[in-house]
Copies of this chain bind each other. A is one copy, B any other.
Amino acid sequence: MLDSNDRERLDALYDRMRAANEVSLGYPAAKDFDYADLDRFFRFPVNNIGDPFADGTYRVETREFEREVVQFFADLFRAPRDDWWGYVTNGGTEGNLYGLYLARELLPNGMVYYSEQTHYSVAKNLHFLGMRHITIRSLPSGEIDYEDLRETLKIHRDVPPIIFANVGTTMTEARDDVRRIVAMMDDLAIRQRYVHSDAALSGGYAGFLHPRPSYDFEDGADSVAVSGHKFLGAPVPCGVVVARKQNVARIARAIDYIGNLDTTISGSRNGITPLMLWYRLEELGIEGIRARLAHSLELAEYLVARLQSASIDAWRNPNAITVVFPRASEALRAKWQLATAGPISHVIVLPNVTREQIDAFADDMIAEVQERKQLAQH
């Protein structure tokens, strides 16, 4: 039993979290989930240890549900039939680490290319894996500068390229065009290559956009990582990584101890998050996902229009749910928990965001900008 002081601290934490959650618009975390039905599973020491497609001796696990989650995303990412594999990760970083790890095993000599708008965790991953890399310029949208990439690939044709594509970028949700990059490599007669798509945020809905962004297996990717806690929503970070099975098979190692081939990074693995993602996908269905996406796109467009009508230089990439605007004041950044990098801040209009919240935020922004203008006039 906890003592009363501990109980009060937990209550205070709960109140603080609930309040903070009401005014969080800057981080890519959907809030409209309810997994109360799954609370009973938290009474067990669940562990999906090892490969989700193999059976181990430890049976307090949810691999059957995990496989369905991976299958869903393999289909969404148009992975080649019977040549895909994947698992539920602890988040986007692990999925990207896995894709880069696979790439390194296949092309030990490879050079990684990624745009300067790439999430900071990728440089950390590459340092971790000891992989050589070149940062490519970004276009103003945040997309990779294809000309710079082409020139750089051309110069380094002695080492196989490993493309780390953003779908989309952290700050502006810009999506690198995988098909275009693959065509560029074809044109340069580069046959040995690897393409990983970091679809942390957009992977949850890119397959339902018109036009469909070019990011998946049919477009030329060899692995795709997506976060589960971003567009779908979950109380803890999680994600899915899908890769070509024949590539994964090359790094498989026989492990006597757990009685299965473990090619995952974690070994002992969370068995609750796969259940949550399964629950979410079953609950929403394709139509539910489409409806949430439509809501986000509409509201993102509305926010851009509201800010622009007050002469605030807001914009968004085509079909993006991220709205970009000039760096907000420290007060607003703190209140709305806005992610900020250099001269820009953003709001991510996730499906849970309401018109009321968007209006409240826009009112704050506009009031601040007008106040600043008045001060400047005096």
A residues with a Cβ closer than 8 A to B are 1-3, 6, 10, 13-14, 16-18, 20-21, 24, 26-27, 29-31, 33-47, 57-62, 64-65, 90-94, 101, 119-121, 124, 128-130, 170-171, 227, 229, 233-237, 253, 255-259, 262, 265-273, 275, 279, 282-283, 333-334, 337-342
Contact = CB atoms under 8 A, between A and B. Distances in A.
A130 B105 CA distance: 11
24 contacts: A10-B37, A13-B64, A21-B45, A26-B58, A27-B58, A30-B45, A34-B43, A43-B235, A45-B234, A46-B236, A47-B229, A90-B90, A90-B266, A91-B266, A91-B267, A120-B256, A129-B130, A171-B257, A227-B268, A236-B273, A237-B268, A237-B269, A258-B339, A259-B340
Contacts of A129: 128-130
B268 A124 contact: no
Q: For chain A, what secondary structure do more than half of its interface residues adopt (helix, strand, loop), or is it mixed?
A: loop
Give me the 9 closest cross-chain CB pairs, A-B, nearest first: A29-B45, A20-B59, A237-B268, A42-B235, A236-B270, A130-B130, A121-B267, A93-B267, A91-B268
Given A1-B283, A65-B13, A90-B266, A42 B31 contact: no
Contacts of A62: 13
Contact of A257 (B30, B282, B341): B341
B44 A337 contact: no
A235 B45 contact: yes
